[in-house]
Amino acid sequence: MMSGARRVLIVGGVAGGASCAARLRRLDERAEIVVFDRGPYVSFANCGLPYHVGNVIPDEADLLVASADTFRERFRVAVHTETEVVAVDRAARRLTVRALATGTTRDEPYDCLVLAPGAAPIRPPLPGVDLPGVFAVRTIPDTRRIRGWIDEHRARRAVVVGGGFIGLEMVENLVHRDLAVTVLEKLDQVMPPLDPEMAAPVAAELAAHGVGLHLGDGLARIDARDGRLVVVSEQGAELPADLVILAIGVRPENGLATAAGLEIGSRGGIVVDEHMRTSDPHVWAVGDAVEVRDVLTGQETVLPLAGPANRQGRVAAASIAGRERRFRGVQATAVVGVLGVTAASTGASEKGLRRAGVTDFEKVYLHPGHHAGYYPGAKPIHMKLVFSTTDGRVLGAQAVGSEGVEKRIDVIATAIQFGGTVHDLAEAELCYAPQYGAAKDPVNLAGMIAENVLAGDMPVADWERLGEPGTLVVDVREPAEFAAGHVPGAVNVPLGELRRRYDELPRDRELWLCCGVGQRAYYATRFLAQQGRRVRNLSGGFTTYQALRAAGRLR
Ligand code: FAD
């Protein structure tokens, strides 16, 4: 140790802890930096674990981003793996650590302490969750055990409990291993962060790939019968399996912090300020273990994602080094790919806003191609944009499709970070060549459609109020499209005949215009509005109707 140098101890050496250690070294060459991790590795790619199970990343060594040696040689950071921190004595500024190989404990004094212990998979206290063959996925040894179990038991069937990000990534990779997979999910949708109608295309894709979906039903217990597992649901369904993956969420590892008397928030995360400093000025905390501010709702939340953990590690390092840097908060930008479909979201969902009691917002749906329609191979992106009706601020966006999905959500995420409005999206200057996008990119279109709503040029109808007395759905698609499927009770007046036939439409009812995706209905809305009719657009058209119906959101 250099004399007078501060001693910085870091608990947890993966996303948040490792980035804090490396950044701190770049800012402070004098500090003594020591990382403890109870696992055998530091700085490994947790996000790659499902793909190792699926043999997409066949070599386990590829999951190791940096080794203890790398940290020592390049950064002069000491790393102690298989060493668990068991207690924090804040008054004495001292940790008690246990070497797991020998069981011996020792004390480690600190000037600054960074807690980056992550979050643990939730194992509900239900019968059978600890049976052999039931796994959670958090570490490299977990994936080793899962791979070994699949091979040794020639596993053919798996049940994945939980249809969120990690659950669906495991589904995809178990399908890659030729297992027949069933998802058991307590909510009546997969991908809980999405609004149900946006998750519906993901569920459809899973079903199309033969994945069994058992939604709206929770886990009751797991039995071992005749050498195999049977997952029993709360409603009594019995799902046989050779292998069960528990992916029902994670909980901040707050044990050390709680025992040390640090402030813990209502969501179970360690409370930190914008500099990632805890209620003790000598202790910082980062990553899945902390609570952070949701920039859209203003509420404290936990967001177990790698991006925030890495950025928070840098912020804590800056703070320890005496530099001014603040963590802005989170907006839940996330993406998952499963069996060819990509689902991404940023900011608030409609259901999240409703839960938070927000009412001054509106939403629009659109289904543009991921690039110009005239260039071969355009694939639809199903998008939903949620925005403030008070000031036009973009509140959130969700998109599902097979190409170009995450690019659009990333653009909108950036706009949200800068406090952007729907007008900013309409005006955004984005890349365009036929094979990549369109002169009006889906992001522009989302902004333009929302602008039309805010300007009163295209009032939108509430899909969930379909069939309301005093309204009539007018479908402006061609007769063959109408015959192939339409909203119940709709009348068909194709857009090309509307100027000639609009007098046929009743004057005493509000006309709700519908088409395939909302565009022709918009043209019809504008025409009829200028004829003095009371009109609304059914945003997203029949495509959105089908998604809402699949999600059970229509009466
Ligand atoms: P971790 O990375 O979990 O690191 C915490 C470390 O602390 C662990 O190694 C743990 O052993 C150690 N530790 C805990 N307590 C102690 C103690 N008392 N003493 C010593 N060591 C301790 N995020 C994304 O953004 N995108 C993805 O695609 C994605 N995919 C994921 C897939 C999987 C299977 C998993 C498990 C996570 C995924 N994540 C993803 C989440 C992401 O990995 C986490 O948000 C991120 O790793 C959190 O970083 P962290 O430093 O807070 O915690």
Q: Tell me: the pLDDT tens digits for 365-374? A: 999 999 999 9
Give the C-alpha distances (Å, rounded to integers) separating 217 from 163, 359, 553. Answer: 12, 30, 18
Q: Atom 1 (ligand 1): residue with closest C-alpha? A: 118
Atom of ligand 1 nearest to the CA of 12: 7
- Distance CA(542)–CA(348), nearest Å, equals 25
Q: How far is the CA of 252 from the centre of ligand 1 (A)?
A: 10
Question: Is 118 close to ligand 1, i.e. is its CB under 6 Å away?
Answer: yes
Question: What is the pLDDT, as a whole number, of residue 111?
Answer: 98
User: Position of tokens 């297992």?
Assistant: 179
pTM assigned to the model: 0.95
Q: How close is the Cα of 504 to the center of ligand 1, in Å?
A: 63
Backbone angles phi, psi at 450, to 5 degrees: -65, -40
Question: Best of 47, 57, 253, 336 to mutate for ligand 1, by most ligand atoms within 8 A of CB?
Answer: 47
**Which of 422, 472, 425, 478 is CA-nearest to residue 451?**
422
Distance from Cα 379 to the centre of ligand 1, integer Å: 34
Mutate to test the pocket of ligand 1, among 71, 170, 288 (most ligand atoms within 8 A of CB): 288
Distance from Cα 286 to the centre of ligand 1, integer Å:
11
Confidence of residue 3 (pLDDT cuts 50, 70, 90): low
- Rounded to the nearest 5 percent, the helix, strand and coil shares of the chain are 30, 25, 40
CA–CA separation, 295 vs 329, rounded Å?
6
Q: Which residues of 310-340 are buried (b: 16+ CB within 10 A; e: fewer)?
A: bbbbbbbbbbbbeeeeebebbbbbbebebbe
The residue to mutate among 14, 49, 114, having the most atoms of ligand 1 within 8 angstroms of its beta carbon, is 14
Cβ of 57 below 6 Å from ligand 1: no
**Residue 215 near residue 187, CB atoms below 8 Å:** yes
Ligand 1 touching residue 46 (CB < 6 A)? yes
Overall average pLDDT of the 79-106 stretch? 98
Ligand 1 atom, smallest distance to 304 CA: 45
488: alpha, beta or left? (left if phi > 0; alpha if psi -120 to 50): beta
Whether the predicted pLDDT of 2 surpasses 80: no
Quote the tokens at residue 408: 């659009």
Ligand 1 pocket member 115 (CB < 6 A): no
Query: How many whole angstroms from 119 Cα to the centroid of ligand 1?
Result: 6
C-beta of 78 in contact with ligand 1 (< 6 A): no
Residues 6+ apart with CB under 8 A from 261: 90
Helix (H) or strand (E) holding 453: helix 442-454
* Whole-angstrom distance, CA of residue 543 vs CA of residue 549: 10
**Cβ(85) to ligand 1 under 6 A?**
yes
98: CA distance to ligand 1 center in Å?
20
pLDDT at res. 308: 98
Radius of gyration of the chain (CA): 27
520 neighbors 476 (Cβ within 8 angstroms): yes
Question: Residue 160 belongs to what H/E stretch?
Answer: strand 157-161
Query: Is residue 213 within a helix (H) or strand (E), and if so which, with residue range?
Result: strand 212-215
Q: How far apart are CA 354 and CA 51, in angstroms?
A: 35
User: Length of the chain, please?
Assistant: 555
What integer is the mean pLDDT of 160-168?
97
φ and ψ at residue 241, rounded to 5 degrees = -155, 150
What is the three-class DSSP state of 451? helix
Q: Determine the residue type at 247.
A: A
Q: Is 47 a catalytic residue?
A: yes
Query: Distance, CA 513 to ligand 1 centroid (Å)?
Result: 48
Is residue 222 pLDDT above 70, yes or no? yes
Look at strands 94-99 and 83-89 and give their pairing. Answer: antiparallel
CA distances from 324 to 239, 320, 321 (A): 54, 10, 9
pLDDT of residue 356 exceeding 90: no
54 lines ligand 1 (CB under 6 A): no
When pLDDT is cut at 50, 70 and 90, the band that residue 229 belongs to is very high
117 in contact with ligand 1, CB cutoff 6 A: yes
- Nearest atom in ligand 1 to the alpha carbon of residue 290 is 52
H or E element at residue 341: strand 341-347
- Angstrom distance (rounded) from CA 44 to CA 167: 20
Which atom of ligand 1 lies closest to the CA of 85?
A: 19
Ligand 1 centroid to Cα of residue 231, in Å, is 27
Beta bridge partners of 108: 95
Q: How confident is the model at residue 339 (pLDDT cuts 50, 70, 90)?
A: very high
Q: Which amino acid is at 512?
A: W
Distance from the CA of 250 to the center of ligand 1, in angstroms? Answer: 10
The atom number, within ligand 1, closest to the CA of 119 reads: 3
Is the CB–ligand 1 distance for residue 452 below 6 Å?
Answer: no
Cα distance between residue 61 and residue 412, in whole Å: 35
pLDDT tens by residue, 400-441: 999 999 999 999 999 999 999 999 999 999 999 999 999 999
527 phi and psi, to 5 degrees? -65, -50
Strands, E assignment, 402-456: none
Neighbours of 300 (CB within 10 A): 16
Whether the CB of 14 sits within 6 Å of ligand 1: yes
The percentage of residues in the chain with a pLDDT greater than 70, rounded to a whole number, is 99
Which ligand 1 atom is nearest residue 250's CA? 36
Q: What angle do CA 153, 154, 157 make, to 5 degrees?
A: 100
CA of 269 to the centre of ligand 1 (A): 14
Atom of ligand 1 nearest to the CA of 307: 25
Rounded Cα distance between 215 and 185, Å, is 5
In degrees and rounded to multiples of 5, residue 182 shows phi and psi of -120, 135
Token pair for residue 346? 């940023």
One of 20, 47, 112, 514 is an active-site residue; which one? 47
Q: What is the mean pLDDT of residues 215-231?
A: 96
Atom of ligand 1 nearest to the CA of 36: 20
Q: How confident is the model at residue 555 (pLDDT cuts 50, 70, 90)?
A: confident
Q: Which residues lie across from 158 on neighbouring strands?
A: 181, 243
| Cβ proximity of 514 and 536 under 8 Å | no
Q: What is the DSSP string of 38-64?
A: SSS-SSB-GGGHHHHHTTSS--GGGGB
15 CB less than 6 Å from ligand 1? yes
Mutate to test the pocket of ligand 1, among 19, 43, 44, 46 (most ligand atoms within 8 A of CB): 46
The answer to whether residue 206 scores a pLDDT higher than 80 is yes
Is residue 38 in contact with ligand 1, taking CB distance under 6 Å? yes
Instruction: State the Cα–Cα distance between residues 396 and 384, nearest whole angstrom.
Output: 8
- At 1, the pLDDT band (50, 70, 90 cuts) reads very low
